[in-house]
Amino acid sequence: MKTYRNADLHCHSVVSDGTLTPEQLATRAHANGVELWALTDHDEVGGQQRAQAAARAQGMGYLTGVEISVTFIGQTVHIVGLGFDANNPGLVQGLHATRGGRKQRAMEMSEGLAKVGIQGAYEGALPYVGNPELISRTHFARFLVESGVCKDTSEVFRKYLTEGKPGYVPHRWATLKDAVTWIAGAGGVAVIAHPARYKFTPNEEYALFTEFKAHGGRGVEVITGSHSEAEYAVYAQAAQEYGLVASRGSDFHSPDESHTELGTLPLLPAGLPTVWDLLADRIQ
Ligand code: AMP
Ligand code: MN
Ligand code: MN
Ligand code: MN
């Protein structure tokens, strides 16, 4: 079995809310020393063929990828799927349904922003949208930065796009069970994305991990652009305690916005079982 050290199994292209094409990402990943790559667009597998072909052209290993939006105990949780069949009808239909409410939500976000004096945010966000089914908060954030309302996207999220703020619209995504079942049903492995980002109590986090496992989830991101060094250790231990394999991914979105570059995070701690060993026979 080939051993991969520099695996980056989480990033976004123009097919969701990234700013680079799958080909540009593959070139950048390879230039940064990535040996095994996965493109994980939000709720969408439309970029998978291009990503796989681009990875092959660069001589990198590839795993199919997706990041599914889930609602769990009132919060949005992201579940990454890796190594699945991107043409599996159950997965494709489930993702289509998950994308379904985004346009309506975006129009409501725009109404909320209009109430605090920011007019035309929906129309303003549209030119940033690469996939008409996937308008996201990130596209609104880019518009508000470009139009001078905020200095960067983090400020937009802090002031306008997070819970309780004028452009925030609560949304019901897929269930945890559905997301895990779609991924596993398509032959892939489900992974809890950036667990430290959620604001769960210890009991709620325990419920997330145990229910995730009960539904067939197998992995957790340990090294991600969303975690601090202390959190790497916390979730390395959680992986062992819950019997999950570990994953690593930058969550890169854009050269201008992302603070974490493709393929440059610390490697997984030695001795942790990895998601790519579990998926060795799905690597393309
Ligand atoms: P959505 O799926 O439309 O709710 O948008 C979620 C996306 O917004 C995430 O995948 C991130 O790319 C981005 N995002 C969420 N929170 C922040 C933040 N605090 N700063 C910058 N981007 C964020
Ligand atoms: Mn995103
Ligand atoms: Mn995420
Ligand atoms: Mn992501």
Last residue of a domain, one of 112, 129, 161: 161
Q: Is residue 267 part of a domain?
A: yes
- Same domain membership, residue 194 and residue 177: yes
Q: What is the spatial distance between Cα 73 and Cα 63, in angstroms, rounded to a whole number? A: 30
Nearest CA to ligand 1 atom 16: 157
Instruction: Please choose from 128, 134, 157, 160 the residue to mutate so as to test ligand 1's pocket, defined by most ligand atoms within 8 A of CB.
Output: 157
Mean pLDDT of 224-234: 97
Last residue of a domain, one of 138, 161, 184: 161
Mean pLDDT of 123-132: 98
**63 neighbors 279 (Cβ within 8 angstroms):** yes
Q: Give the distance, in angstroms, between the CA of residue 248 and the centroid of all CA atoms in the same chain.
A: 12
Residue numbers of the domain that contains 80: 7-98+172-282
Cβ(258) – ligand 1 distance below 6 Å: no
Q: Is residue 273 part of a domain?
A: yes
- Same domain membership, residue 197 and residue 59: yes
Mean pLDDT of 229-250: 98
CATH code of the domain containing 147: 1.10.150.650
- Same domain membership, residue 194 and residue 62: yes
Cβ(40) – ligand 1 distance below 6 Å: no
Model confidence, pTM: 0.98
Count the alpha carbons within 13 Å of 115 in the hemisphere toward its beta carbon.
10
Nearest CA to ligand 1 atom 11: 138
Q: Is residue 121 part of a domain?
A: yes
Q: What is the spatial distance between Cα 228 and Cα 211, in angstroms, rounded to a whole number? A: 25
- Same domain membership, residue 151 and residue 18: no
Mean pLDDT of 33-61: 98
Work out the mean pLDDT of the chain and round it to a whole number. Answer: 97
Residue 75 pLDDT: 97
Percentage of the chain with pLDDT > 70?
100
- Same domain membership, residue 277 and residue 205: yes
- Same domain membership, residue 156 and residue 113: yes
Last residue of a domain, one of 133, 161, 189: 161
Domain count, the chain: 2
Sorting pLDDT into bands at 50, 70 and 90, what band is 92? very high
- Same domain membership, residue 183 and residue 93: yes
Give per-residue pLDDT as tens, 244-283: 999 999 999 999 997 899 999 999 999 999 999 999 999 9
- Same domain membership, residue 253 and residue 199: yes
- Same domain membership, residue 93 and residue 29: yes
Residue 2 pLDDT: 82
Cβ(215) – ligand 1 distance below 6 Å: no
Residue 226 neighbours by CB distance under 10 Å:
18
Q: Is residue 204 part of a domain?
A: yes
Helices (H), the chain: 22-31, 48-58, 89-99, 102-115, 121-125, 137-146, 153-156, 176-185, 202-214, 229-242, 275-278
Sorting pLDDT into bands at 50, 70 and 90, what band is 1? confident
Three-class SS of residue 139? helix
Q: Which atom of ligand 1 is nearest to the CA of 253?
A: 12
Q: Is residue 35 part of a domain?
A: yes
Q: Is residue 118 part of a domain?
A: yes
Residue 259 pLDDT: 83
Phi and psi dihedrals of 229, rounded to 5? -60, -40
- Same domain membership, residue 110 and residue 88: no
Q: Is residue 2 part of a domain?
A: no
Residue 181 pLDDT: 98
Percentage of the chain with pLDDT > 90?
98
- Same domain membership, residue 215 and residue 119: no
CATH code of the domain containing 267: 3.20.20.140
pLDDT at 17 over 80: yes
Q: Is residue 166 part of a domain?
A: no
